[in-house]
Chain A
Amino acid sequence: MKIIVCVKQVPNTNEVRLDQKTGTLIREGVPSIINPDDKAGLEAALKLKDGQGAHVTVLSMGPPQADAALREALAMGADEAILLSDRPFGGADTWATSSTLAAAIKKLDYDLIITGRQAIDGDTAQVGPQIAEHLGIPNISYAEEIRVEGGYVTVKRQYEDRYHIIRAKLPCLLTALSELGAPRYMTPAGIFDAWKKEIPVWKRPDLTIDDSNIGLNGSPTRVKKSFTKAVRGKGTVMTLDPEESVNWLLERLSEKFII
């Protein structure tokens, strides 16, 4: 079985802080990580590899430094990694990102494609289903359990108030939830091998795709502006003993007719 896992290198947004004076993001010193949902997807692929044997290829689109994310994936146990990196791919929205990734995937053999549900820097959850559409294969989003048997994949698909058990014939694309399991650590031997491996970098001429479907020019959406939110007006903060605290709060809430 051949599995392709798409990963994105993202800034760890949990460590992004706002400069209180200027209201801008402090991005300096924020570490880059493999997007958590993608890492859960990689773990699921590696479990399938452990259990029934599979060839796992990791694919990423990004700047040259995304190489580090791919090496981490190799050190976890992926067999092969490919980086899509070239200036014409830059500035892509989800539409152009997914069509570029799909063009790369068309050059590869696959039975199963796994992407994370969403990336923590954008939170869109769009690229997975869009890749599947560009490839013309079914997708099952929000996967929290995966089983592969006899050319079919069976998935526990999460919704807000229920789950569906869905079976699809391969090839199929899944989007992974963190519920699939905690990602394994890199092994020392894995790290050693990962740094020796060559990670091919695919550039614009390597893909068969129209210019109108890649990068900024291939993106139907544009960011018009970005800004920090207006802070809600600060209220009153009191330090009192517990009894007094309760009395003070009850008075305030009755003034507002809440109680």
Chain B
Amino acid sequence: MQIEDYRGVFIFAQQVDNKLAGVSYELLGKGRELADVRGSEVVAVLLGSKVENLAESLGQYGADRVVVVDDPALETYMTEPYAYAFSEVIKKNKPEIVLYGATAIGRDLAPRISARIHTGLTADCTGLEIEPETNHLLMTRPAFGGNIMATIVCAEFRPQMATVRPGVMQRKKADAPKCRVERMEVKDLAAHRNVEILEVVKKVSGKMDIQDAKVLVSGGRGMGSPGNFTILEELAKELGGTLSSSRAPVDSGWVEKDRQVGQTGKTVRPNLYIACGISGTIQHLAGMEESDIIVAINKDPGAPIFEAADFGLVGDALKIVPLLTEAIRRTKERKATA
């Protein structure tokens, strides 16, 4: 393998139902940064059926080039046709770096490709940078349930590949977008469908995705019962945010899994995170410590969450939260009439 032959930062532009996943833009933001250091280009790889219309927005967020494989066999995500198509793109273009979102799709697709083209893959990265002396990609990720961080290198194989945790990297609009769209034909993709999708069932959720929320009111085991989460929803509504949760209420079935913040849930970075009755395990902190302002309300003055909070209140969330909601409502009314 001639490592010098591999150039460019490629990102997997994940789309489902002709909508780009938010993490695709975040990968472009980070990809742009890495490509600028390496003096190379950022290329978005867009796989799907009738998806070329998405190329423009990829350019607006930093792609120099979009490689589109448009094929009816790629309409709905299926491991093998996607792995085959993407591997062909890699073989033809020889990228130096390939980034995928650490989503339920990316974490299935990327390992399959790494085994196929024989290169390393680092999972769920939260930090990526180029090592100046070697030009290798330094891939940093939480390990041991978020207890420690590890920096991984893939020195002798190319491309260097990583999946990246959604919600961690920043998206950035390009100052002067100039993007080339390039169609690539991959032959006989339909023949690579080795499973059959019998049914696609979408979960209907009227609620805001916790990764998009500017304000999160989050509850833990200390809330005591599922019914008590109503007061958190009321506070969230008053603040224009939404409800999230630590792991315990999800495991107890009080709260939906897609609300979970932390190492085994989602990483969030809202403007305001209010942790109510959450003790603050390392696994939980790993998912929310990048929030701008953290407020913690907990009865136990020794709870580790207070170590991470900007403003901590030792007390009963069940008493404090309703009063807080009411006080915010009054403040807003006063401002509205002033």
| Cβ-based interface call for A32 (8 A) | no
Chain A residues near B202 (CB, 8 Å)? Answer: 161-162
CB <8 Å contact, A235 and B153: no
| Cβ-based interface call for B196 (8 A) | yes
| Cβ-based interface call for A65 (8 A) | no
| Cβ-based interface call for A160 (8 A) | yes
Identify whether the interface residues of A are mostly helix, strand, loop, or mixed: mixed
Distance, CA A240 to CA B20, complexed state (A):
47
Distance, CA A162 to CA B156, complexed state (A):
38
A-contact bits for B119-142, CB 8 A (1 contact / 0 none): 111111000000000000010001
Distance, CA A241 to CA B195, complexed state (A):
60
| Minimal beta-carbon separation of A14 from chain B (angstroms) | 7
Chain A residues near B79 (CB, 8 Å)? Answer: 129, 138-141
| Cβ-based interface call for B336 (8 A) | no
The contact of B145 among A14, A159, A219, by CB within 8 Å, is A14
CB <8 Å contact, A246 and B323: yes
| Minimal beta-carbon separation of A168 from chain B (angstroms) | 4
| Minimal beta-carbon separation of B330 from chain A (angstroms) | 10
Residue of B nearest to A155 (CB): B195
Instruction: Give chain B interface residues in 137-186, CB to chain A under 8 Å.
Output: 138, 142-145, 147-157
Interface size on B, residues (CB 8 A): 83
Chain A residues near B154 (CB, 8 Å)? Answer: 220-222
Residue of B nearest to A117 (CB): B107
B-contact bits for A238-250, CB 8 A (1 contact / 0 none): 1111110111111
CB <8 Å contact, B195 and A168: yes
The contact of B108 among A13, A141, A163, A168, by CB within 8 Å, is A141
Chain A residues near B189 (CB, 8 Å)? Answer: none
CB <8 Å contact, B194 and A168: yes
Interface size class of A (residues with CB under 8 A): 35 or more
CB <8 Å contact, A232 and B308: yes
Known: A167-B195, A235-B310. A94 touches B143 (CB 8 A): no
CB <8 Å contact, A133 and B293: no
Residue of B nearest to A212 (CB): B118
Distance, CA A91 to CA B304, complexed state (A):
34
| Cβ-based interface call for A258 (8 A) | yes
Distance, CA A95 to CA B105, complexed state (A):
19
A-contact bits for B192-209, CB 8 A (1 contact / 0 none): 001111111111010000
CB <8 Å contact, B149 and A129: no
Residue of A162, A169, A237 with most chain B CB atoms under a 10 A cut-off: A237
B-contact bits for A118-137, CB 8 A (1 contact / 0 none): 00111111111110111000
| Cβ-based interface call for B25 (8 A) | no
| Minimal beta-carbon separation of B148 from chain A (angstroms) | 5
Distance, CA A225 to CA B152, complexed state (A):
7
CB <8 Å contact, B144 and A95: no
Known: A125-B107, A139-B79, A228-B148. A239 touches B119 (CB 8 A): no
CB <8 Å contact, A161 and B310: no
Chain B residues near A222 (CB, 8 Å)? Answer: 152-155
CB <8 Å contact, B293 and A253: yes
| Minimal beta-carbon separation of A136 from chain B (angstroms) | 10
Residue of B110, B145, B203 with most chain A CB atoms under a 10 A cut-off: B145
Distance, CA A138 to CA B79, complexed state (A):
8
B-contact bits for A1-39, CB 8 A (1 contact / 0 none): 000000000010110101000000100000000000000
CB <8 Å contact, A16 and B147: yes
| Cβ-based interface call for B331 (8 A) | yes
| Minimal beta-carbon separation of B12 from chain A (angstroms) | 15
Chain A residues near B323 (CB, 8 Å)? Answer: 242-243, 245-246
Question: What are 7 sample pairs from A and B whose C-beta atoms fall under 8 A apart?
Answer: A129-B115, A165-B200, A221-B154, A236-B310, A241-B315, A249-B313, A259-B331
- 9 further A-B contacts with Cβ under 8 Å, apart from A142-B104, A253-B272, are A94-B114, A125-B111, A126-B121, A129-B111, A133-B83, A140-B79, A141-B108, A166-B196, A245-B297
